[in-house]
Structure 1
């Protein structure tokens, strides 16, 4: 915590199992959590599942104007934002290079890159001014071993990683803030295990472990975090 107040943390992509787990863990750590999704009913249900005190907000994070309005709404009631955990994304694949579709690329670019660019541009000054400013995104180990079938997906993840490292370089200029990249093979949650009881999900990261890593960002020194790729695979 800083300055005697709970830290204000935004969970972008809060309707997912990872978003719910992360919002819950941050709330339990004493932070004030704003969980954000594009569907009103889904994000309200996700906030309720995360627990009392998690505030649901509706925003199309691919809209810069929408993210600016989101920032104004949060800062107007809670003040400066100290952390943004970016969990927006999704998978699209193909058989090879020639059948990579424009529709899939548009989906991946919008979710993985545009949303991240928007939230970092809008919340950057808040995070840089915070004594404990933190930004985190989630990438895939697949980005380090690109395949033809996953070309669009890994290209979008690589672009998002590069942007995040640029944010980290900006934070290195005299602030107490850090931008990090969580690296996973894939994410697994209780619902997935229930639906596939015979599957072991080797190498996958439980959403609860991702949530714990997000909480840990706010107690680790920025100098030890900034610009790092933190491997969360087992």
Structure 2
């Protein structure tokens, strides 16, 4: 398999990681659709050759509208993130918790909006970026670890849904949901890991947690 000529949606792509992944995908011959809430912040992605869409990755309505506009989608990578922490357990404020929730909301919205398209693809891939904090949460990062853990649980539920749909249809598994874990996200490490999602069979990838060294 190859990512060449496949359509990949990068949801919440205005970070350095989003730009690095977009460039790697474009260099490999993929069509990249990058979303963000600001046309200005999307401009570097447009300059790189991506199709840009001003849309909120946390909004099911926005993501469903985008899915309906695209002919076919072979991959969705949810890149909405952020960090707030410190202050021990007492310092885990409600304000910080709610500021971190968009990462989970984007995972939910994108997976639901593109579920049909990814299962219809010959090599559908859904991927999220999580943190090693899930495996070893600290009191000062409890809000962050909780949101990432919830995101991982959702992505694994997506994986089970893909497997069940294929099994019920009596067809081979063609879609996979994957979790990338990083201690400190390095765009140069994430980009090749995303490309590699189309180097392996869905059955090998589905429900995997991949540590990014």
User: TM-score with structure 2 length normalisation?
Assistant: 0.92
SS at match of 2:33: strand
Whether 2:73 is the aligned partner of 1:81: answer yes
Whether 2:165 is the aligned partner of 1:169: answer no
Kept in 2: contact 1:100–1:151 (CA 8 A): yes
Q: CA deviation at 1:155?
A: 0.1
Match of 1:108 in 2: 100
Q: CA deviation at 1:208?
A: 1.9
Out of 102, 120, 124, the residue aligned to residue 129 of structure 1 is 120
Match of 1:194 in 2: none
SS at match of 1:172: helix
Match of 2:59 in 1: 63
Match of 2:170 in 1: none
Match of 1:160 in 2: 151
Kept in 1: contact 2:11–2:76 (CA 8 A): yes
Distance 2:177 2:88 in 1: 33
Kept in 1: contact 2:7–2:74 (CA 8 A): yes
Match of 2:187 in 1: 207
Whether 2:132 is the aligned partner of 1:141: answer yes
Segments of structure 2 that go 5 or more residues without pairing to the other structure are 167-172
Distance 2:58 2:77 in 1: 16
Distance 1:13 1:186 in 2: 18
SS at match of 2:26: helix
How does 1:1-12 map onto structure 2 within 5 Å?
6-12=5-11
Q: CA deviation at 1:142?
A: 1.1
Whether 2:61 is the aligned partner of 1:42: answer no
Whether 2:205 is the aligned partner of 1:225: answer yes
**Greater mean alpha carbon deviation, residues 94-103 or residues 213-222:** 94-103
Matched residue count: 205
Q: CA deviation at 1:46?
A: 2.9
Distance 1:177 1:149 in 2: 36
Q: CA deviation at 1:72?
A: 2.3
CA RMSD of aligned residues (A): 1.4
